[in-house]
Amino acid sequence: MSPFKGQTGLKRILNAAGYSLDGLRAAFQGEAAFRQLVLLNIVLIPLSFFLDVSRGERALMVAVCLLALIVELLNSAVEAAIDRISLERHPLSKNAKDMGSAAQLTALTLIATVWAVILLG
């Protein structure tokens, strides 16, 4: 067992929840893109409950919105790790950051596509 794992049981769960909240706080405070996605979610998720769609469609509309937040958190984590390793320009660092950005673009495209198919289909 790794000495870095820390506590077990309920204490571990409470610690993990605290770390998760710290991560959300850091993303919200330090990442403009995350704040913009939170705002988009604040608009779109409640809107989905006012639209005449099935429960399954609504769940999908909400899920793709939340997925974009998850992708942005992972993208920000990749960028932070790359920057921690080195601030020097390197092709592999650029590729990693560009791929994270592409993942976020794909997630945003997914939101637009799912919402369009449900609302216009």
Q: At what angle do helices 9-30 and 32-48 cross, to 10 degrees?
A: 100
CB 37 within 8 A of CB 72: yes
pLDDT at 4 over 60: no
Residue-wise pLDDT for 54-76, tens only, equals 999 999 999 999 999 999 999 99
Residue-wise pLDDT for 91-101, tens only, equals 999 999 999 99
Examine the residue annotation and report whether 72 is marked as an active-site residue of this protein: yes
Task: Name the CATH topology of 32-120.
Answer: Helix Hairpins (1.10.287)
DSSP H or E run through 103 = helix 91-120
In this structure, how many other beta carbons lie within 10 angstroms of the beta carbon of residue 115?
20
What type of residue sits at position 11? K
Annotated catalytic residue within 31, 57, 72, 88? 72
